[in-house]
């Protein structure tokens, strides 16, 4: 009993220290925001129609590598696990894929297990068909919006059988084929194709070059395993500093093949527990401002969030518009 009591006391002390450190780091970020502001090129831009925001930015002028793509982490997790016991720890989004598309999200991180259920770690939800149907519904309702679907087998799971064929059969009419030159093209030049679909199996053979699906080397993210907001903020900034400018990441003719030269994904605010995410999310605009002030504004490409909100999307669209207008 005495040993158990000591262990409980030690655990409570660690939790208290963690809570104090989170509070300290949140206050540090608040102080930075109050001191430096969040005014970056395009910060005050507000699109009227988020559902069709790419068309509002003139698709004939908007190049793929100019876009700051608003994305979501663990995108299809609004119903994973048990609603009372496990969902609060495994859910990373409140909105369905369709609802996310309507508010302007254009990059999705979908995890699947062997039976094609979407999942987060050991928690699963609905069949991936729900995701595919949401995407197709949205594409039929719009005309110029391009989507990046990153679909991966969750760690510790087996690949779904013939999943590449499933994706090609379901999305074939919309798929933009794997081609390095895509990143130098305008949205108008890609149409009527609408989806860059990256399939990341763990055991299945590598996808062939030039096929309908894109291989894992075209999209990589840097994970910082911490729930400390300022630590995560600075770690993501460091990852970003190691990237190349967006206009040089994909060379004409695909002369570079190393994954660091492909389309990289700096991702921010990864927590997965809603309480902690709410501590971090208010500083997304601060992150963009500091990217620019530190000279990394031309490196931000995909900006992803847990529990996505419209203001986050607006910030990405505003910075994209500033790039088109030559303000960066």
Q: What pTM value is reported for the model?
A: 0.88
Q: What is the DSSP letter of 211?
A: S
Could you read off the pLDDT of 109-162 as tens digits, one per residue? 999 999 999 998 889 999 999 999 999 999 999 999 999 999 998 888 889 999
The pLDDT of residue 236 is 86
User: 16-30, 259-273, 305-319 — which is least confidently predicted?
Assistant: 259-273
Measure the CA angle with vertex 292, ends 289 and 298; round to 5°: 130
Structure token digits, residue 140 = 């039929």
* Range 173-197 average pLDDT: 94
Measure the CA angle with vertex 154, ends 153 and 156; round to 5°: 110
Query: CA dihedral in degrees (10, 16, 21, 27; nearest 10)?
Result: 180
Residue 71 belongs to what H/E stretch?
A: strand 69-72
Rounded Cα gap, residues 186 and 178, in angstroms: 16
Closest listed residue to residue 114, CA positions, set 165, 158, 167: 158
Residue 285 belongs to what H/E stretch?
A: helix 284-293
Could you read off the pLDDT of 254-281 as tens digits, one per residue? 222 222 334 444 444 333 345 556 677 8
């Amino acid at each position: 009993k005495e040993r158990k009591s000591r262990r409980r006391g030690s655990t409570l002390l660690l939790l208290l220290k963690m809570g104090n450190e989170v509070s300290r780091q949140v206050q540090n970020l608040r102080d930075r925001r109050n001191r430096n502001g969040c005014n970056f090129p395009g910060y005050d831009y507000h699109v009227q129609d988020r559902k069709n925001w790419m068309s509002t930015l003139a698709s004939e002028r908007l190049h793929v590598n100019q876009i700051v793509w608003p994305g979501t982490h663990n995108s299809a997790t609004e119903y994973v696990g048990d609603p009372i016991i496990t969902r609060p720890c495994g859910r990373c989004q409140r909105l369905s894929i369709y609802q996310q598309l309507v508010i302007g999200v254009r990059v999705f991180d979908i995890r699947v297990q062997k039976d094609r259920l979407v999942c987060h770690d050991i928690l699963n939800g609905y069949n991936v068909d729900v995701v595919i149907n949401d995407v197709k519904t949205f594409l039929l309702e719009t005309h110029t919006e391009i989507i990046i679907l990153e679909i991966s087998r969750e760690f510790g799971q087996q690949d779904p059988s013939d999943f590449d064929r499933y994706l090609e059969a379901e999305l074939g009419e919309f798929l933009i084929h794997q081609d390095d030159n895509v990143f130098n093209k305008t949205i108008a030049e890609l149409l009527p194709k609408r989806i860059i679909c990256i399939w990341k199996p763990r055991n299945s053979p590598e996808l062939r070059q030039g096929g309908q699906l894109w291989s894992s080397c075209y999209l990589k993210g840097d994970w910082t395993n911490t729930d400390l907001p300022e630590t995560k903020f600075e770690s993501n900034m460091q990852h970003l500093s190691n990237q190349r400018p967006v206009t040089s990441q994909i060379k004409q003719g695909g002369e570079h093949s190393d994954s660091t030269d492909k389309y990289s994904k700096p991702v921010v605010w990864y927590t997965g527990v809603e309480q902690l995410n709410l501590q971090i999310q208010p500083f997304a605009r601060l992150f963009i401002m500091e990217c620019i002030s530190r000279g990394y504004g031309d490196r931000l490409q995909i900006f992803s969030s847990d529990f996505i909100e419209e203001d986050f999307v607006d910030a990405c669209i505003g910075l994209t518009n500033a790039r088109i207008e030559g303000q960066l």
